[in-house]
Each structure stands twice: as structure tokens, then as C-alpha cells.
Structure 1
Amino acid sequence: MSGAEGPGGGPVSGTEGPDGGPVSDAVQPGGDGPTSETEDRFLTTPAGLRLCYRVDGPADGVPLLLIAGLGLDLTSWPRPMVDAFTGSGFRVVRPDNRDIGRSARVATPPPGLLRQALARPRPDAYDLADMAEDTRHLLDHLGIERVHLVGMSMGGMIAQTLAARHPHRVATLTSVFSTTGSRKVGRPALSTLVRMAKRPARTPEESVTRHLALLAHIGSRVFPPDEARERAWAGAVWERGRDAEGVARQIGAIQASGDRTAELRRITAPTVVVHGTRDPMVHPSGGRATAAAVPGARHVEITGMGHHLAPGVLDRLVGLTTDLARAHGAAVTRTRTEEAA
């Protein structure tokens, strides 16, 4: 996939993710990896789309839904983060978005090079609202009436859309390094686009090497990655679901949704917007614009954080989400991540 557009609206040519397919979102830290004991589960939406998801934590826990970013599957959420949430009393649900991981691929052509470069989605493209509906169907399937939402990057956009269109289903919202869809904010740095302009990896070994190299650019020296964990995760995720065309369709969904600033003003859920000051994938202006659009939102910029869920920021993110939920009636307690213990 060449000439793709990143979450902030900038062109991304030949973007390459850990699964060997082009990905314009930042690849995230090692999640479950090959030793996960969590089982993949499946549901079929009313439209016939088969979606994969996992559930962790106590059956009577407070529902928390984690929505991953562009080209990232459910294992992109770091295991220590998931464990900290479950230890706090949350029942954690993680879906594979449509067109990635073990969820179904949509039977429409991906946008071509020219459409991606010009941000002109195909007329038959799905959009973020469709992806938010997938999430709503998952909640229905699990019998969850209200949920605390956390979304990163494109996952933040999906979470924002669900909160705006189905406010009665969302208890709180945590939007992490995401943006509004306006092409005036949240755009990736030119250096990021240049680094991502590579053909897809052809082997698992090449994919791991590229993942680590990209992570060195989009991550942060202030909050360095756990290289061993990253290497293990990138190798495992190669086998789980690579699909360059699926990622291109996700990019088309972002483009088809356009500027969502006006819609964000409809969000009523208590919201915290988190962004790093050193994010080269989604410029910090995207977070500022999101916080300005959502009524009453709290804006938190983490100094030195990039576009990466590094070990050094996990405890802060878990704390912000847990404190927000607890402040609005959730029966949860603060549990620190293993990195912070």
C-alpha cells in the first residue's frame, strides 16, 4: 500500500507494520506474545462480519474496552497494562478491529495509491462510524450496557465516535495520542513519513528488524521500549493476521470520516485526552484539538512521550483511566503496573 494517509491526514507511502503489512499507525509494545493464556473469542455482527475479541479479568468486574489503533491487533495492548486494569477490578475487553488480526476482512477493494495520497476515499468505503457500530455490537453480544472506553490513535477515533453517537453506552472516555480528523492538526512529521516509505517486509525476521527501527523513531528516549518484549511481540504478531489491503481500508475509513470536530462536541462522557509532547506520528496539536472539542475534557500532555505505549508511561495511563472511572462511580481500585511496582 503506497501513498497511504496516517492518522493525522498526512501521506504515508509503503508503511510497514510488525505483521509484514503496511501500517501507518505506530507499532505498539509487546502485548500478549506467544505465551498468552487468553483465548480468542468470536462473534458475528448483524451485517455478517466475524469479529475476534478477548476478555480478561473477573466476570463481575467493571467493563473496560480497549480499542487498538490503525493496523494493530488486540495484542498491541501491553500485558502489564491489561494486568494492571484487571487487578484494579476491571473486566477488560479487547477486540480486533475489522480488517486486522483474526477479525474478518471486508469484501471491498482497498483505496488505491492516488485516492490515499489525495485523501479521496472510495464511495464504497466504510468509515469510523461503521467501526464504532462493530464495537457497539460487541457490547451487545457481551451484555454490557455501559463501558469505560480507552482508545489509542485510530482506536481513539473509534472510541470518540461511539461516545458521540451512543452516549448512554459510554461511562468514561480515555483518548490516547489521537486526533479530530481535521487536516489542520495531528499530522505526522515529514521524517516519520520518509522512514515509513518502505516496501512491506517479506519475512518475520525482517518485520521484527523494521519494527524495532521504526519504534526507535516514533518512540522516546525518555520512555524507552523493552526491546526483548518488543522483539517477541513483533515476531508473534507476524503470524496472527497480516493484511496490507485491510490496513488500506482502515485508512480509507479515517479519510471517509473527515473532520469530526463538530461531532466531538456531542460527547457527554467524562473524558481525559492524553498525548505525548514528542509524538512524531500524531502531532500533539491533535490531542489539544480533541480536548478543546470535547466538553469538559481534561487534557494531559506527558513530557517526552512519543507515539508508543512504553513501559514508563503505562502506570500513568492506567492511573488516569482508573481515577477517571472511580471519580464517576466505578468500584475500582488503583493497581500499579509491574514496571512501576
Structure 2
Amino acid sequence: MDTQTGTVRAQAHPRVQTAQANGIEIAYEIFGDPSARPLVLVMGAGAQMLLWHEELCQALVDRGFFVVRFDNRDAGLSTHLHDEVPDVRAAAAGDLSSAPYTLEDMANDTAGLLEALGLDSAHVLGVSLGAMVAQTLAVRHSARVRSLTSIMSAPAVTVDWEAVEARPPATSREEYVEQVLQMFRLIGSPGYRADEARLADVAGRSYDRAHDPAGGVRQLLAIAASGDRTEQLRSIRVPTLVVHGEADPVVPVAAGRATAEAIADAELLVLPGMGHSLPRELWPTIVDAVVRTADRAADARAQ
């Protein structure tokens, strides 16, 4: 561990590949046949691509997708901006000047990854912060997005900076795993039993790969610095699916409705019992909806 930054040094994984994109290095993994229709998965704040469960990736492959999952900047094995120190107290007072980047920069990262992979365009699925990145990609790089699936997201989010400041960084692998489990007990899906063994495994592997608490805060600053994006969302014209948990305590379901209302002809799928997590029991429903949205895009392109 780097005792000055609190960061566990990154460990490589044999499946992981890297690409230069938008001036940084992006770590990614691929699943399925590269000739199938491409689907890029964008993860949420403070989380690594490992949270996209391999079985979910395979379920999407089985439905005809070539799946790409990757670590956002400041997460996992992608570039971390360690020299940029987030000022949480200033952010709580409304000063966001310590934000080193915005959602637009993260969307540009994703566009750069597509280019590095030789993909002119792809279907894009994001959760939470990842959905905000995916939305911004569809605004800024519309030609690169075939369809958009936005899960548990919003046109704008107010970050609880006091809660961020009050949460001490974990000092060990065991403490971090317990923090993650406690978090999902609070924000997870009350209608479904959490798979805590899987969560603990992913949390432990994430800690081993590259644990960087400050990176997650920089990602939250990107959300705050990007402001309300409602008017930008009105420019999206690709087939769009908005999925939201009826019981989401982090991003209330009203935010999902607002997202769908802002995007022309978006399909809204509200799932009872779902919170700010993706329960395994809902994977078939979500996969079906993603396929349906991709099919809409294919039909539109054929006309």
C-alpha cells in the first residue's frame, strides 16, 4: 500500500487488456464473438468492472452481444489521477474547483475506448454514474451509440458531501469488504436476498486490484461539476431504455422517470423491490429489455 495516498497498488489480471484512450490508459475485458453486435458496459462511482458479474456478461453474450466491460478512470486498473486531491469540505460548501474532470471527459474516455477497439459504434449500458457517462456519450458522440440503456440514474444528482467526508477509508482488506457489505445492506434491493458471498468476493478482488478511495471521490466530483443535464438529454435520439428500482434509496425512482421524460421515446421499466443494485433474479428481465432496445435500434437503422 502507498501510505501517503492510501492506495493499494494495482495487480494485473490475465484477462485484462489495456488501451490508450483520451490521453489515459483504460483497462478492459471482452466476452463473446467480436463479430456479434457490440455492447459496452459502464460501471458506477467507486466501483470496478468486476461488479459486472461474469455470469451477467455471459447472459448478454448468449443473447447475441459482444460484451466489453472496463474500468473507468480512477477505478481498477485504468489510470488514476493521484496528483489531483479532492477537497470534500470545499465541495460541501459549493466549491467544486477541485474536480479534475467531468462526465464529458469520462464519456470521451469511452468514445476513445471504442475507437481503440475498432468499433465505429456500440450499444451502451450504464448503471448509476456509468449511466450518466453513457447518457453523455449519447449526447456528445451520438454516432457512436446504437442504443442506450440507463439504469438507476438521473439527469442531476445532489451528492451528500457530509456523508462522503464522514466515511473513513478502510485500512485493511477485511475492513473494506465489511464496508461494502454494510453499504449494500443499506442501498441494495429490499425485495431480493443479497448474494453477500458474491459481494464479498468482488469487494476483496477489487481491493486487491487497486483500492483508491480518493478516486471514487473524484468521480463524485465529476457528477457534481457536470450539473443538471436535462436539456442535454433532450437531444438524444437513439433508442433508449431507462430502468429504475422502485425502492432505490440512493437515486429515487422519480429521477428515473425524469430521465425517461427527458429522452424522446424512451422506454421506462420500473422494477418493484429493486434498490440501488442489480439482483440476480432480475437479470433475465433486464437482459430481455436490453435486447428489445437493441432490436429497436437495428430496426431503425434498417429503415
Structure 2 residue aligned with 1:172: 147
Q: How does 1:31-42 map to 2 (within 5 A)?
A: 39-42=15-18
Q: Which has the higher helix share?
A: 2
Match of 1:315 in 2: 284
The corresponding residue for 1:288 is 257
Structure 2 counterpart of 1:44: 20
Q: How much has 1:313 moved relative to structure 2?
A: 1.5
Question: Secondary structure of the residue that 2:197 maps to in structure 1?
Answer: helix
Matches within 5 A, 1:56-205: 56-106=31-81, 108-122=83-97, 125-181=100-156, 183=158, 197-205=166-174
RMSD (Å) for aligned C-alpha atoms? 2.3
SS in 2 for 1:228: helix
Which amino acid counterpart does residue 274 of structure 1 have in structure 2? Answer: V
Deviation at 1:40, TM superposition (A): 0.6
- Asked if structure 2 preserves the Cα contact closer than 8 Å seen for 1:110 and 1:248, the reply is no
Q: Who is 2:3 aligned against?
A: none
Report SS of the residue matched to 1:320.
helix
Match of 1:244 in 2: 213
1:328 is the counterpart of 2:297: yes
Aligned to 1:27: none
Contact 2:40 2:122 in 1 (8 A): yes
The DSSP-based 3-state class of the residue aligned with 1:44 is strand
Residue 218 (str. 1) matches residue 218 (str. 2): no
Instruction: Please give the alpha-carbon distance, in whole angstroms, between the structure 2 residues aligned to 1:223 and 1:111.
Output: 35
| 1:119–1:307 CA distance, 2 compared to 1 (3 A) | farther
Indicate conservation of the 8 Å contact 1:119/1:255, yes or no.
no
Per-residue CA distance 1:225-246 (angstroms, 9 max, x = gap): 2122122222111111111221
In structure 2, distance between residues paired with 1:321 and 1:91: 13
Unaligned runs of 5+ in 1: 1-19, 22-33, 331-341
Contact 1:195–1:214, Cα closer than 8 Å, also in 2:
no
Indicate the residue corresponding to 1:16 in structure 2: none
Number of residue pairs aligned between Structure 1 and Structure 2: 290
**Separation in 1 of the partners of 2:156 and 2:85?**
20
Distance 2:175 2:262 in 1: 41
**Contact conserved, 1:149 with 1:159, CA < 8 A, in 2?**
yes
Distance 1:222 1:196, change over 3 A: farther
Q: Does 1:303 align with 2:279?
A: no
Change (3 A) 1:324 1:103: same
The alignment partner of 2:149 has SS state of strand
CA distance in 1, matches of 2:93, 2:238: 34
Distance, in Å, in 1 between the alignment partners of 2:157 and 2:166 is: 23
Partner of 1:259: 228
Identical amino acids, percent of aligned pairs:
37
Give the Cα–Cα distance (whole angstroms) in 2 for the partners of residues 310 and 273 of structure 1. Answer: 17
Q: Secondary structure at the match of 2:209?
A: coil
Q: Are the equivalent residues in 2 in contact too, given 1:125–1:256 (CA < 8 A)?
A: no
Q: Give, in angstroms, the shift of residue 123 of structure 1.
A: 6.1
Structure 1 consecutive aligned stretches of length 4 or more whose deviation exceeds 3 Å: 193-197
Q: Take 2:199 and 2:22, find their aligned partners in 1: how far apart are those partners?
A: 36
Task: Name the counterpart of 1:207.
Answer: 176
Which structure 2 residue ranges, 5 or more long, are not aligned? 1-5
Alpha-carbon offset, residue 119 of structure 1: 4.0
Deviations 1:26-79 (A, max 9, x none): xxxxxxxx9xx97111112252x1111111111211100000000111111122
* Length-normalised TM-score, structure 2: 0.89
Letter in 1 for 2:144: R
Tell me: CA distance 1:234–1:124, structure 2 relative to 1, closer, same or farther (3 Å): closer
Query: Which protein, 1 or 2, shows the higher relative CO under an 8 Å CA cutoff with sep ≥ 6?
Result: 1
